[in-house]
Amino acid sequence: MKRKIPLFKRLQHNPIICIVILLIAVGFYYYQISENSFTAEVIHVIDGDTLDVLVVNQPIRIRLAGIDAPEKGQAFGSKAKKALADRVKNKVVTVIEVDKDQYQRMVAIIKLDDLNINQEMVRLGMAWVYTNYNQDDSLPLLETKARANKAGLWSQSNPTPPWLYRKQLSNK
């Protein structure tokens, strides 16, 4: 009668099976982590909360989640665009998809190494927290600090939020 050897003992003596199992486990873990995130190069900054990244030779337009930056033509609009471009243009970032917006743009958190760019734009006073869509609990505190420090757009006495600016333009 043949004696059964426990599975663990059999695996100890077969490194190839161990490696295959390890690769499958790592692959599954990576898939779970990266199913809604990817890395890409930022090829164009549209404004302070919108950019284009290149993925498999295709540009993808991304709207930064939870924030709303001044529009072009609005006070601090060009400064917000420059602040975003200075941080991410031509750099490889991690894109974490959160949603799609009404224009079918990807809404995402952008990370450059460990720096959350969405949070950084608010901290610098280059964007408001977009309260209707925000899911990041740290953004309101960052905005409060930026206001208190009169950072960026908060150096103005009464800055107009971009959503009101857009509404005023559409009423004209």
Annotated catalytic residue within 41, 105, 120, 143 = 105
pTM greater than 0.95 (yes/no): no
Give the three-state DSSP class for 52.
strand
**Does the annotation mark 87 as catalytic?**
no
**Does the annotation mark 105 as catalytic?**
yes
Annotated catalytic residue within 63, 87, 123, 143 = 63
**Does the annotation mark 71 as catalytic?**
yes
What's the full length of the chain, in residues?
A: 172
Tell me the per-residue pLDDT of 126-160, one tens digit each, with 9 for 90 and over: 999 999 999 999 999 999 999 999 999 999 999 99
pLDDT mean across residues, the chain: 88
Query: Containing H/E element for 26?
Result: helix 15-34
